[in-house]
Copies of this chain bind each other. A is one copy, B any other.
Amino acid sequence: MVETTADSDLLDLRKGRPAAGQDPVKRAQIIEGARRVFIDKGFEAASMNDITREAGVSKGTIYVYFANKEELFEALIEEERGTIFKNMYEVLDHFDDLRKTLVKFGTVLSAKITSAKVIQAQRTVVGASDRIPELGARFYERGPKRGHDKVMVFLNEAVERGLLKIDDVDLAAYQFTELCLAGLFRQCIFSYRTKAPSQAEIEHVVRSGVNVFLKAYGTEKLAAEERASESA
């Protein structure tokens, strides 16, 4: 063809209709299908035909919304990350009783991260980040990392109030998180545990973890306050 018709250029001139690949409902439908397939099979084993089937959307349409398999996967992970870490840190927002707050937050954190659904999602991300490292990095940065920052802010406030004495708050925040998980995460992600830990077990782990943490970092002022409220 020597001359191209102007048609392709005119495609951008639209009426009030949603542009191609812009319908949020269709998009959500595709991602929902992708979720089932990707989470179930992992990135490599999942096929676009599977997703087509699962989403109930034609292959052509999927390629209107997403350039390729990788882009679709990334969009899914981004969404998963959003829902996983949503509403997880608000318990840290109002500073009440230090120990109670730590236990409450630790319980939520530990339960969330070790839940079957979330573990499966994380497994998928880990598996994929072998070939797409940026994906894993982005997931961590916008997920766990943000949580870590929230914990740091909280710990800093506790330090300022003289309840904790911490040299390296950054490190202490990691220690707190890991104490709340205490091996559960690793057991789950390696499928050594096939079921998520029970609420009772999580509370046991977290309570002990907070104990360790406060014994290491709690000040005399904290101890005094706890004695006071205990005798009350």
Contact = CB atoms under 8 A, between A and B. Distances in A.
Given A208-B175, A216-B216, A183 B124 contact: no
A177 B146 CA distance: 24
Interface string A107-139: 000000000000010011111111101111101
Interface in A17-75: 41-45
Contact of A216 (B120, B127, B211): B211
Q: Provide the main secondary structure of the chain A interface.
A: helix
A164 interface: no
Contacts of A130: 41-42, 120, 123-124, 127
Contact of A179 (B41, B45, B131, B175): B175
Contacts of A162: none
Nearest to A168: B208
Interface stretch (A89-97, A184-192, A223-231): A184-192
Nearest to A129: B191
Given A182-B171, A192-B145, A212 B208 contact: no
Nearest to A126: B126
Interface residues on A, range: 35 or more
B137 A192 contact: yes
Contact of A178 (B137, B179, B217): B179
Contacts of A82: none
Given A208-B168, A212-B213, A216-B216, A126 B190 contact: yes
B190 A129 contact: yes
A194 B213 CA distance: 29
* Closest 5 pairs (CB-CB, A-B): A127-B127, A44-B44, A174-B183, A178-B178, A136-B191
16 contacts: A42-B127, A44-B44, A45-B131, A124-B127, A126-B189, A136-B189, A136-B190, A140-B190, A144-B186, A167-B208, A171-B204, A174-B183, A175-B179, A177-B183, A212-B213, A215-B215
